[in-house]
Structure 1
Amino acid sequence: MRHLVWFRTDFRVADNPALYDAAADGAEVTAVYVDCPGQWQDHGKSAMQRDFLSRNLQALNEQLAQLGIALTVLTADRFVEVPALLAEWVEARGFDALYANREIGIDERRRDKAVQQTLTMPCRVYNGDCVVDHGSLTTRSGDMYKVFTPFAKSWLARVGASGYRLLPAPAALGEPLSCEPLSLSGERVSSEAWPAGEAAAAQRLTQFCQRSLRDYGERRDFPAEDGTSSLSPYLALGILSPNQCLAAIEAELEQLPFSRGEPGFVWLNELIWRDFYRHLLVAFPRLSMGRAFKPDTEALQWSRDDDGFRAWCAGQTGYPIVDAAMRCLKQTGWMHNRLRMIVASFLTKDLHIDWRRGEAWFMARLIDGELAANNGGWQWAAGTGADAAPYFRVFNPTTQGERFDAEGDFIRRWLPELAEVPARVIHAPHDWMDTHQPGHSYPKPMVDHARARLHAIAMFDALKDREAV
């Protein structure tokens, strides 16, 4: 038997259901990756993530070669070209079955359906990206949960009762193979700050659990500290699986935490959020199409302030925590999660600019850009997403900065023009700078937050008025 494993966003050999089953019965296994540079651009993904993908593809190539599995890279500019390309390549080589782990975006699902309809051999598809399989957690009426808390309760009950499945890497299928270096074409921005490969991801996971898992809940919100896992780039490309994260928690704590207050639960809860957003993307395809989760919020009257959007993008809003976060993103391709919430709230609730513009800006720059999490986070901040009572949640950027960067250490790292500003005024530095640094270039706050907040609430109240008519 000859089996073909189609790698997509699952660049690992351990805990890879498709690879594990393809190799389980002693079949000859070949691997393929189909690069779609035009689709990458259409989806607005970042040049830094493309560089990270290219480096991790080479790492996967070397791992597979050690197992006696050859990896071939095919190129089709866009997904629509994949079925014919793959069919021609497959039929010339006489494979008996195709194995792949599911991808959940609507374009990917349409591509996979077309591939299955085109190929004449069996196509076996697995859940390789969630702890609990998509669609398997539902309400009593059989619907997908639309609010996180009941989903999380159901998730915890399922995992508590059934556990999770962690698969080993397959045994070597033959002698190690030589492999040529692989490199993807297209625009690239260096991702060298992030070590590539499954071993590097596993090492980071272990180090995080040993050093930070227990006090993650106390340290995760402070961007000047190294209190987060920084594992999202590896999860986004499937270099690391969520099951491996659960196993690392269990190895460190000797059990999984199932209730708030237990050490490690706060980080486990973040993994549940990840599953939640991915389940939503499968259940509601409109989320892949730039549509709001709550259809009524499509009527929100967003501002078309292009100058305001450009100021936000450039980190020139006059609110130090917002500006520092945006400049950090521009230079590193990554942003601390607390800061993502702050800047998303500022764009949508202070500047009243459509969340979709922020979502696209993030995706085009993040090394960990991933549709379900990025879309879910932006819609949560904007008040259009899966949340019980979102519209009156408006982050005050000044008090957020005072609370989570009290001494201004993070702000000074990214805003050198504020380097000399004392901590007591770092979050509202303008009067001090006008007195002590006349002629400074740091902009005044572009909006009055109190007034902007009232306007944001009024935008949502107007939706209720429309429903009442």
Structure 2
Amino acid sequence: MSTAIVWFRRDLRLADQPALSAACAAHERVLPVYIHAPHEEGAWAPGAASRCWLHHSLVDLQSQLREQGASLHVRRGDSLAVLRELVHATGATAVYWNRLYEPTAIARDSTVKAALREQGVEARSFNASLWCEPWQRETRQQAPYRVFTPFWRSLRTQLSVTAPSTRPSIHGLEVADGLPIDALELLPAIPWDSGLREAWRPGERGAREALEVFEDDAVTDYATARDLPARHGTSRLSPHLHFGEISPRQIHHALAARVSAIDARRRPDIEPFLRELGWREFAHHLLYHFPATPTANFDRRFDRFAWEADDNASLERWQQGRTGIPLVDAGMRELWHTGWMHNRVRMVVASFLCKNLRQHWHHGARWFWDTLVDADLANNTLGWQWVSGSGADAAPYFRVFNPVSQAQKFDAQGEYLRRWLPELRDASPPLLHEPWKDAALLKRSGYPAPMVDLGDSRAAALSAYQSMRGA
């Protein structure tokens, strides 16, 4: 009776799960395994919010496997050593897994694959998280893409609405010495995660629910609603995608099916949303081809940019949502409470840190890494380098997001600001957007005065940029 091990990582689902499907098709028994090895991820081990999400996602996966008559074998330690032990204990002749694309994961997986094959064990990996492997797209000059639009144009022509695979029948087996999920100690010792639990349902079932809500409501006007932070106009699928609880192919197929069922005269355009998924693919393309970018400027001219000296006091005020700029503060408080922030607001708070405060983008990337439930190295790196001006296809450095005009345009009545800034709840919209114009309001509410003058700090940032270009 042949046995295979399926090594789960950030592919925590049973449907459209190529490694699991291949193992079940080729072998009579399958052992699903999760190995907790944060030390193997180096400097980018999961942050606190990600660990919370991972706990609940593993619980959901374990529940679904048990419904199938199987069980998730949980271990902690060195991945290769654990896999070798399990091969010996079960007599497994094959180990299957789905690929990850971070530099440390690629190096680790290559070592594991070579070692297992040397041992005579079949080792196979699959693509479960992307439409297209990062090495499958290149320019006409046979080089990696550096600009999104031609990348998307190339990728879009290759996308087909193929039906994702369903969950396979699993004939599992039990192995001794597995750990309970609680033993991984992923949840905080001092509970601070109530907001995350209120806002999210991690796991494959939660991903399906989020997709159904998006299909029913938001997709019909996504192109406009996605910019309004007070509305649930975005898909909110990013953490589910990061943990592999749903795949881009599943999302694409479900949306295409829903749209095709609507009368052609009223049929919504899902292209703007697919394009956002394309940005996710572009981020992985860049990280694969330029693996130093999580810490190094893509545009090396920024190595000589005159950032302000590290300012812990300013950084803490930004982190705590106490900058005195309402849209920035609302976004940072939403992040702390829910582990997530609306995408447009992410751009605003990042611009404020990198340009108005002129703090290095590393500080923001690290804070997002620890506090976002969808913290993804590829997306996080692309986003911060894009806003700072140092990345591939970056926003021009002279594009400095004005938090006041952004709030006036996309939160005109202040619904989002009032939700996260209760001390300003009674302010009328003009003052809600610029509370420093009324000293009595600041005194009465306790809301802080702005850390910096938006106009002066913008001018200083542009001057620093011009000096860098002239150096």
Same fold (TM over 0.5): yes
Partner Cα separation in structure 1 for residue 404 and residue 235 of structure 2: 26
Distance 1:63 1:443, change over 3 A: same
Q: Does 1:317 align with 2:320?
A: no
Deviations 1:238-285 (A, max 9, x none): 1111111101111111299xxxx9612111111111111011111111
1:320-353 per-residue CA deviation (whole Å, 9 max, x = no partner) reads: 1001111111122111111101000100011110
| Residue 48 (1) aligns with residue 54 (2) | no
Which string of whole-angstrom CA distances, capped at 9 and with x for unpartnered residues, describes residues 154-195 of structure 1?
Answer: 111111xx5556222112437999x99632314525342212
Q: Equivalent residue of 2:292, what SS?
A: helix
1:216 matches 2:215: no
Amino acid at match of 2:373: I
CA RMSD of aligned residues (A): 2.4
| Pair 1:91-2:92 in alignment | no
| Cα offset, 1:47, TM superposition | 2.3
SS in structure 1 of the partner of residue 456 of structure 2 = helix
Q: Cα deviation per residue 1:381-432 (whole Å; 9 max; x = unaligned)?
A: 1111111652122101111111111111111111122122111221111222
How far off is 1:231 after superposition? 1.3
The aligned counterpart of 1:382 is: 388
Matched, 1:116 2:122: no
For 1:195-210, list aligned pairs within 5 A: 195-210=201-216
What is the distance in 2 between the residues matched to 1:91 and 1:155?
Answer: 42
- Matches of 2:201 and 2:174, distance apart in 1: 24
* 1:74 matched residue in structure 2: 75
Selected match of 1:249 from 255, 267, 279: 255
Structure 2 Cα separation of the partners of residues 405 and 135 of structure 1: 41
**1:359 Cα offset (Å):** 0.6
Q: Verify the 8 A CA contact 1:26 1:173 in the aligned structure 2.
A: no
Closer/same/farther in 2, CA of residues 175 and 347 from structure 1, 3 Å limit: closer
Distance 1:123 1:390 in 2: 45
Which residue of structure 2 aligns with residue 231 of structure 1? 237
Q: Which one-letter code corresponds to 2:166 in the other structure? A: P
Distance, in Å, in 2 between the alignment partners of 1:72 and 1:274 is 31
What is the Cα deviation at residue 196 of structure 1? 3.1
Amino acid of the structure 2 residue aligned with 1:96: T
Work out whether residues 361 and 388 of structure 2, in 8 Å CA contact, stay in contact via their aligned partners in 1: yes
Structure 1: runs of 5+ lacking an equivalent: none
Q: Give the alignment of 1:70-469 within 5 angstroms.
A: 70-76=71-77, 81-119=78-116, 120=119, 121-159=121-159, 162-164=160-162, 166-173=164-171, 182-183=181-182, 184-188=184-188, 189-190=192-193, 191-193=196-198, 194-254=200-260, 263-288=269-294, 290-303=295-308, 304-387=310-393, 390-432=396-438, 434-435=439-440, 438=443, 440-466=445-471
Q: Contact between 1:135 and 1:279, CA under 8 Å: does it hold in 2?
A: yes
Deviation of 1:48 after TM superposition, in Å, equals 2.9
Q: 1:346 to 1:315 in 2, by over 3 A?
A: same
State the alpha-carbon separation in 1 of the partners of residues 291 and 32 from structure 2. Answer: 29
Alpha-carbon separation, structure 2, partners of 1:312 and 1:332: 17
Normalising by structure 1, we get a TM-score of 0.91
In the alignment, the residues of structure 1 paired with residue 8 and residue 354 of structure 2 have an alpha-carbon distance, to the nearest angstrom, of 37
**Structure 1 residue 437: Cα displacement:** 6.0
Task: State the match for 1:31 in structure 2.
Answer: 32
Distance of aligned partners of 1:348 and 1:414 in 2 relative to their CA distance in 1, 3 Å threshold: same
Asked whether the 8 Å contact 2:42–2:104 carries over to 1, the reply is no
User: 2:392 is paired with a residue of what secondary structure?
Assistant: coil
The TM-score with structure 2 as length reference comes to 0.90
Amino acid at match of 1:280: L
Question: CA separation in 1, counterparts of 2:122 and 2:251?
Answer: 31
Residues 371 and 268 (structure 1 numbering): CA distance in 2 closer, same or farther, change over 3 Å?
same
Mapped partners of 1:210, 1:419: distance in 2: 31
Residue 7 of structure 2 aligns to a residue whose secondary structure is strand
Cα distance change on mapping 1:383 and 1:67 into 2, 3 Å = same
Q: 1 CA distance for matches of 2:53 and 2:395?
A: 37
Q: Which region of structure 1 is more displaced relative to structure 2, 147-156 or 107-116?
A: 107-116
The structural deviation recorded for 1:61 is 1.6
Q: Which moved more, 1:112-121 or 1:232-241?
A: 112-121
Could you list the per-position Cα deviations for residues 50-83 of structure 1 after superposition, in whole angstroms to 9, with x for gaps in the alignment?
122111112112222333433211101xxxx322
Q: What is the SS of the residue equivalent to 2:417? A: helix
SS at match of 1:123: strand
Deviation at 1:299, TM superposition (A): 2.2
Q: Which amino acid aligns with 1:216?
A: Y
**Whole-angstrom distance in 2 between the partners of 1:245 and 1:116:** 30
Instruction: Using the TM superposition, give the Cα deviation of residue 85 of structure 1 relative to its aligned residue in structure 2, in angstroms.
Output: 3.1
- Rounded to whole Å, the distance in 2 between the matches of 1:239 and 1:17 is 13
- 2:41 and 2:60 map into 1 onto residues whose CA distance is 20
Aligned partners of 2:386 and 2:395 also within 8 Å: no
Seq. identity, %: 38
- State the one-letter code of the partner of 1:149: T
Distance 1:305 1:182, change over 3 A: closer
**Cα separation, 2, equivalents of 1:370 and 1:101:** 16
Counterparts of 1:180 and 1:364 in 2: how far apart (Å)? 25
Post-superposition, which runs of at least 4 consecutive aligned residues in structure 1 deviate over 6 A?
Answer: 174-177
